[in-house]
Amino acid sequence: MLQAPTLTQGFRGLVYDNKTESMRTINILQRMNVYQEVFLSILYRSLPIQKYLEPVYFYIYTLFGLQAVYVMALYTTSWLLSGTWLSGLLAALWYVTNRIDTTRVEFTIPLRENWALPFFAIQIAAVTYFLRPNLQALSQRLALLAVFMSTFLFSLTWQFNQFLTLLQALALFTLESLDVLPAAKAMWLYGIQTACLVLVCILQFFNSMILGSLLISFNLSVVIARKLQKNLKSGALLARVGKLVLHSLVVLCLTLLLNGCVKKTLNLKSDEHIFKFLKAKFGFGATRDFDANLYLCEEAFGLLPFSTFQRLSDTLLFYAYVFVLLVTVTAAFVVAFQNLRGCGRQQQGKMEVHTVDLTPDTAYNLMHTIVFGLLALSTMRMKYLWTSHMCVFASFGVCSREVWGLLLKCVRLHSPRRVSPAPCPSSFDDLSCACHARSSAVVSQISVIRYAVPTLTLLYLSYKFWPGMMGELSELREFYDPDTVELMDWINSNTPRRAVFAGSMQLLAGVKLCTGRTLTNHPHYEDSSLRERTRAVYQIYAKRAPEDVHALLRSFGADYVILEDSVCFERRHRRGCRLRDLLDVANGHVMDGPGENDPDLKPAKHPRFCEEIKRNLPPYTTHFTRVFQNKTFHVYKLSGSK
């Protein structure tokens, strides 16, 4: 966009791009979530800053600034829940001191999640405000507008938005079914989620992955099921439970039916690799599928390591979080049971008030932290959704009147003799005065605790972590990889501009960025045809004949292939998870090295291509000529290439 003569030509170059994937013209705006970069390019060309600020720094500063918005959104959510700014301050400080586990922006800046999660945090704050009881009509409209804008921006900037909003919709459905959340407000949120996803689908030129989204099918199913089934919240306890179970089954069946019909009609396969991965991860049968195993073998998609909890405990965050979670979950069970029994929240005309209550905004954030906590525990890659909200939830709890009040009443630590009560109004009788004195004492104790605990925590965090953070800010670091730099310099100097390169996804992304050359494949794994290409190109690390590998690479227009010793002789993963092992199993070949193999796997007829090609034997030199080599990379030119 910056190098194009005009913005219009740049935009057209994105819509009709034939310089990224060989032998294809692709629509980048349809395939990838890059509207944010398009917007930044327009902003950069429009502002008078080009003489003072290079594009890369403009990009970096924008993303770092967006992280500041992220922290502000966490601050706001915690303040809304607790009613005190002290809670927001504690949430922000916890986020910063635990930044190793709350964000990846400091070492992988351009990630889509670094764009999306700040808008998701704003959406959570807006939903929290919208769910507050007794809002004025104008406040509700403004909150809904904020929810819509933040949901739309979140959905536009990250390809996995639909899966996260689906979890959010499931949380809303659970709360609404248990009568914790007003049905009308839940329906508004379902509608906004669906509308935003449809709008993003239009902007992304009807991206197939969005059209087949489970979120749209689920939200439509909830609306249809509600029309079909009425009076769900009437009757005795067992009758209501039975109705809710039936209602949930109807919604589930409708969701699967609608989604299946859409995918079959449109022949959608964009997200099938995700469901294969989930099926294998949660034990529904072993798989030899290359794509699923590629995810399963990555540490980021494994279980959350125990070291995470150790780091979170060092800042007291995990202890505070567990304490607040236990109290609020207990309250939630009691409230849900009361609602299923049909009990009102308060008995009008009586002195007695229910001792356990849970407001809709607190209940929503509780469901949010539980759902995303389970996701993080099962998949480490998703911990950043949980840990940031963990800061909000823990800080809210230690500053909450309701949490401390419930705890004090449960352990019977409150006593009217501990604190002098406020004077009894003259209109009260003796019984009312006694209740007033007791209530005043409890409120006074709670006020002391809810301000003392966060203040002491803030002082502890400042004393222990502030010097270290200041020291880290003063450090200057540099990325050093001379072999990769040498490779990129060689490509720029010795290959035609229109040359096509084959290799691993991660390396080719660097080739595109540093040299602008065309690629056979790259890391955008949400496209089914590109996944098939990647599996074919990766045969360079399998046990295949040189003529077969040559034919495959030439079918994609490759002129050069880059082999990496770090992949060919990989030791980072255990046996069975090395890339060469995944390829062998997918091809039906026995894996290398000592260890067991499935009985139906057969020895390969050919040696491993990436190893054998280095011996310069005639079958290989006929099709491939080595043109570059260093300690890490080997580049071969294909015969018949331009």
Q: Average pLDDT in the 209-226 region?
A: 90
Distance CA 218, CA 187 (A): 12
Query: Residues 6 or more apart from 568 whose CB is under 8 A from it?
Result: 541, 580, 608, 610, 611
**Would you tell me the crossing angle of helices 430-473 and 401-411 to the nearest 10 degrees?**
120
**pLDDT tens per residue, range 458-489:** 999 999 988 888 888 888 878 789 999 999 99
Q: In whole angstroms, what separates CA 87 from the centre of its chain?
A: 25
**Coil, strand or helix at 405:** helix
Helices vs strands, H then E, count in the chain: 29, 5
The residue with greater pLDDT, 429 or 315, is 315
Distance of alpha carbon 254 from alpha carbon 517, whole angstroms: 47
Residue 293: predicted pLDDT: 79
Share of the chain above pLDDT 70, in %: 89
**pLDDT value for 338:** 84
- Per cent of the chain over pLDDT 90 is 55
**470's tokens:** 């200041």
Which of 301, 296, 299, 310 has its CA nearest to residue 100?
A: 310
Residue with tokens 């949400």: 526
128-145 residue pLDDT tens:
999 998 889 999 999 999
Estimate the crossing angle of helix 161-177 against helix 360-378, to 10 degrees. Answer: 130
153-205 residue pLDDT tens: 999 999 889 989 999 999 999 999 888 888 899 999 999 999 999 999 999 99
pLDDT per residue over 87-123, tens digit each?
999 999 999 999 999 999 988 899 999 999 999 999 9
**What is the per-residue DSSP string for 346-403?**
B-TTSS-B-S----HHHHHHHHHHHHHHHHHHH-GGGHHHHHHHHHHHHHHHHT-HHH
At 252, is the pLDDT very low, low, confident or very high (cuts 50, 70, 90)? very high
Per-residue confidence (pLDDT) for residue 437, from 0 to 100: 46
Q: What is the mean pLDDT of the chain?
A: 86
For residue 292, pLDDT beyond 70: yes
Q: Is the pLDDT of residue 346 over 60?
A: no
The tens digit of pLDDT for each residue in 514-557 reads: 999 999 999 887 788 888 899 999 999 999 999 999 999 999 99
Q: What is the pLDDT of residue 415?
A: 46
Kindly provide the residue ranges of all beta strands, DSSP E only, lying in 388-522, ordered along the sequence: 500-502, 518-519
Q: Which residue has the tokens 């927001």?
A: 88
Q: Average pLDDT, stretch 216-230?
A: 87
Task: Identify the weakest region by mean pLDDT among 68-72, 345-349, 358-362, 488-492.
Answer: 345-349
Neighbours of 458 (CB within 10 A): 16
**With 60 as the cut, is the pLDDT of residue 413 above it?**
no
Q: State the pLDDT at residue 285.
A: 61
pLDDT confidence of residue 411: 64
Judged against a pLDDT cut of 70, whether residue 500 lies above it is answered with: yes
Least confident window among 298-302, 364-368, 397-401, 605-609: 298-302
The pLDDT-based confidence of 424 (bands split at 50, 70, 90) is low
Q: Read off the pTM.
A: 0.88
pLDDT digits (tens, 9 = 90+) for 360-402: 999 999 999 999 999 999 888 889 999 999 999 999 989 888 8
pLDDT at 350 over 70: no
CA pair distance 397, 328, nearest whole angstrom: 9
- The residue count of the chain comes to 642
Q: What is the pLDDT of residues 438-459, one digit of tens each?
A: 545 555 677 788 788 888 999 9
Q: Which residues contact 495 (CB under 8 A, 6 or more apart)?
A: 515, 517, 559, 560
Confidence of residue 358 (pLDDT cuts 50, 70, 90): confident
Residue 47 CA: distances (Å) to CA of 40, 60, 63, 176: 10, 16, 17, 47
In this predicted structure, which of 266-270, 325-329, 471-475 has the lowest mean pLDDT? Answer: 266-270
- pLDDT above 70: residue 427: no
* Spatial contact of 438 and 355, defined as CB atoms under 8 Å apart: no
Beta carbons within 8 Å of 164's beta carbon, 6+ residues apart: 120, 385
pLDDT of the residue at 523: 87
Residue pair 582/290 in contact by the 8 Å Cβ criterion: yes
